[in-house]
Structure 1
Amino acid sequence: MTNISPLNSSKHLNTYIKESKDFSRFAAQSLIPIVVQEFAVLATEFPIVFVKNAESGQFTPIAMMGIKNNFNLYCQTKNWEASVTPIGFSKAPLSLMQTSKESDEVMVFIDEDSELVTSDEGNKLFDDSGEQTEYLKKRSNALLDLASFTQQTSAITQYFAELNLLAPKQLTVKLNSDSPEVNIDGVYIIDEQILNELNDEAFLTLKSKGLMPLIYAHLTSLHQIGRLITKQNQLDKA
């Protein structure tokens, strides 16, 4: 449960935020939305695929953190052991929300029920005169950056879709010799054949927009499925 309220210097003058690597709140979420700016880094640990919103048709890139539905292999304990972390993991307990449906203006909100929010420990959000601390300014700018990254990611994935590069793929995984195969449905990947058959203009446009490294990072990341299989097998044997 959350208790979201607008952040303001009067109500939250003596509010602190603790930094934590406890991401167990994602324990039941095996597919984590990410932005294109972190493809290269996250591809070293997680398979990156795309999912499609059934209502809007919009594609979203995600980092796979589990083989089984609703089970994140990395977030079952309070200790984060991976060498890389999705940007979105670190935004809690703060978030950006529009001030109204009619306005593009946004403001920072805080989840007052978060375990990261305290009255005496961590990083203070406002100084004694009610001005934002450097810590809050940094966190607010990070939220704005993430919002911008999310918009860019949406535009880029839409462009991939317009080129028909995103193809549905059923991933079939066999955990061990004694277990049945596990089918992972509903994911999309870049179709290498379609990519290679693009005309020169379309291919050069991808290159000029700087999108080829994203595609290569995505395709390379698919080899990390083996890492998930290993982690799942280790967990099952424990």
Structure 2
Amino acid sequence: MASAPQAQGLPLFYNDLQPLSSDLHANYKIRRAETAPFLAKQHAVPLTVEEFPLVQRYLPIVFSMGDEPVPLGLMGLNEGINVFFDADGKFRENEPFYIPAYIRRYPYMLARLRPDAEELSLCFDPTSDSIGDFEEGEALFEDGKPSELVQQVLKFNEDFEIAGQKTNAFMKELKELGLLMDGEVSIQPDGAAQPYIYRGFQMIDENKLNEMRGDQLRKIVQNGMLPLIYAHLFSLNLMREIFGRQMQQGAVAQQEQPAA
């Protein structure tokens, strides 16, 4: 159900990467995107721990499977289903909603131009419709220097990298404490012969959390992990809301019938 971003090759959403250059992209502009086609069939988006307090109000927060799990915000309970964005990548609602930073970062990201490079360079996905040699839009460079907009983009990406490091530390601590377990959610709609079962993600084991030693509990209180853990646990109640949206949109996968 919850897939981690691609472990090899390009990150989730990115089709290509080019370093931003005042020589090659002197005439490039950024134009406002009205839709996000790359989100249309994306059901899970990576999160940073700093976002948990906001995300918990809108999306279930889970953790991907595998040896290196990452936090994910669920926009659907099935692969290829996004209940918040339509087939064209247009937001369905007029009500408030939190857009995760990973989405807002696209089509930019910081990357090493060479494996041995110490510094990260600002890159972009040239296949994106929001950046290019357009007539309209905001200029990337002014008199050969990065515009104020580019400087803002760079700052956002630098902050995102720092948040990513904090997230990695949080996940490492969760693993060392043994607090993650395989997750399962059972939802029984009215009139259904059997419940819908969703697996394929990890979650915090509340029993282990409640049984932690005093020194361990003191540590996660002092380092700020405990409120983040509870934000995750509280957010799981939104699973049923996401399921309800899928039902309304006719996007609930057929259940497998039990063998006769």
Give the TM-score normalised by structure 1: 0.91
Quick check: 1:31–1:62 contact (8 Å CA) kept in 2?
A: yes
Counterpart residue number, 2:38 = 25
Residues 48 and 179 of structure 1: is their aligned pair in 2 closer, same or farther, counting only changes over 3 Å? Answer: farther
Quick check: 2:38–2:89 contact (8 Å CA) kept in 1?
A: no
Quick check: 2:187–2:240 contact (8 Å CA) kept in 1?
A: no
- Which of 33-42 and 115-124 deviates more? 115-124
Alignment gaps of 5+ in structure 1: none
Shift of residue 21, structure 1, vs aligned partner: 4.9
Counterpart residue number, 2:224 = 210
Q: Kindly provide the CA deviation profile for residues 171-228 of structure 1, in whole angstroms up to 9, marking residues without a partner as x.
A: 2234553475433222111111111111111000001001111011111101111210
Summarize the alignment of residues 1-238 of structure 1 with structure 2, pairs less than 5 Å apart: 2-53=15-66, 57-76=67-86, 77-80=88-91, 81=93, 83-118=97-132, 119-127=134-142, 129-175=143-189, 177-178=191-192, 181-236=195-250
Letter paired with 2:236: L
Letter paired with 2:120: V
Query: 2-side partners of 1:62 and 1:196: how far apart?
Result: 24
Query: What fraction of aligned residue pairs are identical, expressed as a percent?
Result: 26
- Which structure dedicates a bigger proportion of its chain to strand? 1
Letter paired with 2:170: I
Query: 2-side partners of 1:20 and 1:207: how far apart?
Result: 41
Quick check: 1:165–1:195 contact (8 Å CA) kept in 2?
A: yes
Query: 1-side partners of 2:159 and 2:40: how far apart?
Result: 26
Work out the number of aligned pairs and report it.
233
Alignment gaps of 5+ in structure 2: 1-13, 252-260
Residues 215 and 158 of structure 1: is their aligned pair in 2 closer, same or farther, counting only changes over 3 Å? Answer: same
- RMSD (Å) for aligned C-alpha atoms: 1.9
Give 3-state SS (helix, strand or coil) of 2:64's partner.
strand
Give the TM-score normalised by structure 2: 0.83
Counterpart residue number, 2:5 = none
